[in-house]
Amino acid sequence: MKTTFLFYGFGAEYVLHSLYEELLKRGEACIEIDALTTLDSRRLIKRLTAKPVVLLTSAHLLLDRKSFTDFYPTKSKFYSVLEIISLIKPLKTFFFPHDLTEPLIEYEEKYLNQLDLFLSPGEPFTTIFSQYVMTEEVGWIKYKKNNSRPKKPNRSKQKNAIWFLSDFIIYINMGKVAAYEFLSPILSQGISMKLPLWESSEEFEKYFIEKGVKMYPARENAIELIQNHDITITNGLSSIIAESYYLGKTTVNIKERSHYGNKLSHLENQFPDLIFYENIVDFTLSEVPKKMRKPTLKPFDMKKTIELITKL
């Protein structure tokens, strides 16, 4: 019986689409499930019981329907990764982190030994997690080789900056008009913006464009945008912090209205050159120092990854 490759994830935390497409091109049997957009993914998964399946996931291991719906109500019915492993007993399970700043969240480390391979974006994770599970370094999945060549560096004195807005739910609740008013002290300095892919992002984009802000579509590749700007602005905890930092760019983090949980000190230790601003009004683009470092982020090695996951 032919092996089925099951790609599984949740909304914006699903980062395996390019890999799914590549395996399809090679004639493999693949199923792609975004647990949030598929109304009843349980039915699809139950059908895979007793079949040879290779599971590839970028989802949090313990995130089950109960814990998810308590915070984000959804009608979708789905299983957690651990439940899928218990149910279909895959031949192999591969895990790709979807967040470079925090590849694993609290308690997940203890379940790493349920995986067969942790596909690591790079150090220090390759070594740290190898205590619990086999690890292989394949680069950062959102960093494609074809976007590893940035546009010509900006030689003009004027710095160009982009803000990758996180904690978007706060601004959705605020409404687009109030959100613009709140963010305008930074946006009025000629700074462009990219919103996360969310239900309301298009509506916000339109309104911000009307207000004269240069907006990049939410679907656009973040790595390319980081490479083409001098300064990356972030807020709260997001993968963009690590992506920009490891690409050697000046990275700023705005603390106002941001949620860090208990991870702020972790952020300060992991990224010592990260520039923090307490309030939006404190930020002045001309005063942000340029801190160029050698880029250390490696592009995703598709060939190596395909070899690893098809080697059974």
Partner 1 sequence: MSDTNLIKKYLRPFYRRTSKRMFKFLKLDELMDMLLQINHRAFTIEEELQKLKKIQAATNLILSGQDSYQNELYRKYEIAPLEIFDLSTAIAGESKSEIDIINFIDRTGLDFANKTVTIIGGNSDLYAHILQKKGAKKIHRIESNPQISKDIEENNVSFIYPLNLGKASREHCDILLIPSASWTTLLSSRSFAGFGSFVKESIILQSRVNSQTSYSSSLEPAIFDDDGRLSLNDNYLRRQLHLSGFVEVECIYTEGVYIDNYFDLKVTKFNQLNGFTIIKKNRRPTKDQLLKIKDSTEKIYIGRKLPSKKYLS
* Residue for token pair 């109304």: 39
Rounded Cα gap, residues 195 and 162, in angstroms:
11
**Site for partner 1 contains 162 (CB under 8 A):** no
Choice between 66 and 155, CB closer to partner 1: 66
**Amino acid letter, 161:** A
**Site for partner 1 contains 262 (CB under 8 A):** no
Site string for partner 1, 130-159 (x = CB under 8 A): -xx---------------------------
Q: Which stretch binds partner 1 (CB under 8 A): 1-9, 15-23, 106-114, 265-273?
A: 106-114
Contact 312, 91 (CB under 8 A): yes
**Site for partner 1 contains 112 (CB under 8 A):** yes
Determine how β-strand 250-254 pairs with β-strand 231-235: parallel
Contact 295, 246 (CB under 8 A): yes
Rounded Cα gap, residues 94 and 25, in angstroms:
20
SS3 state of residue 108: helix
Site string for partner 1, 50-89 (x = CB under 8 A): ----------x-xxxxxxx-xx-------xx-xx-xxx--
Choice between 107 and 276, CB closer to partner 1: 107
Choice between 60 and 142, CB closer to partner 1: 60
Shortest distance (Å) from residue 89 CB to partner 1 = 9
For residue 22, count CB atoms less than 10 angstroms from its CB and return exposed for 0-12, middle for 13-18, buried for 19 or more.
Answer: middle
- Cα atoms found within 13 Å of the Cα of residue 303, Cβ hemisphere only: 1
Choice between 30 and 104, CB closer to partner 1: 104
Report the interface residues with partner 1, using CB under 8 A.
60, 62-68, 70-71, 79-80, 82-83, 85-87, 105-114, 131-132
